[in-house]
Amino acid sequence: MNNTIRKALIIGATSSLGTAICHKLAQKNYALFLAGRDISELEIMAADLRIRHNTSVLTEKLDLSYITFSAENFFEEVQEKFTDCDTVFLLAGDMGSVIQNEKNIELVIKINYLQPAKILELLAEKMATRHGGSIAVISSVAGDRGRQSNYVYGSAKAGLATFASGLRNKFLRRGVHIMTVKPGFLDTPMTYGMQSPIICVREKAAQSIIKALAKKKDVVYVPFFWRYIMLIIMLIPEKIFKRLRL
């Protein structure tokens, strides 16, 4: 019988979806390493997970917006405290301000694309040395087509999805699987108060993502029907699409 404990690193653990994923993994007896902006919230989460699921949980403050943030330093901290991690969920992100100014553009791209890309490259390379590992990269349906309401965030998520696609191709023959996840509307603080049948319960979304990663899916939409919603949106001719207020 194989008693090896699975280890999962969750980057952006305090997000609504990240928290749901943490509990689902803890139920499966994963040892967890939680990284996020608010260390106080992380410690509360960790205590709850330990008590509720009797599993090992470590925490690390991670703020991708810091000028001094270093992907290399973060990677070294993970390696020192959480060796042989075999599963990663990258959920870090920020919608940013609705005001599309130069400062906001740089910050949104840094948080949603640049720093996550650096971290992913380091983690995938390390997994490849052990010829095994799985990474779920949380992008967004917002990256499938630019809209005036969130084109900076959407373009950063599109870049992240393309980066993940390249990593998937690069590391396939080295035993590392990278899955791109494109969530639609979830029941998060951002959608609080909205009444819509297309809003998905976060626990259900978390379960779908974990199952898809186990099946080594390449690209998944959560919920699944967003694949068809976005297909319709992608098929709208640009001449018409540019006139829509989306």
- Tens digits of per-residue pLDDT, 150-189? 899 999 999 999 999 999 999 999 999 999 999 998 876 5
pTM value? 0.92
How many C-beta neighbours within 10 Å does residue 244 have?
A: 10
- Tens digits of per-residue pLDDT, 35-93? 999 999 999 999 999 999 999 999 999 999 988 899 999 999 999 999 889 999 999 88
As a whole number of Å, the end-to-end CA separation of the chain is: 54
- List domains and CATH numbers for the chain: 7-241 (3.40.50.720)
* Cβ atoms of residues 153 and 98 within 8 Å: no
Q: Distance (Å, rounded) from C-alpha 126 to C-alpha 133?
A: 9
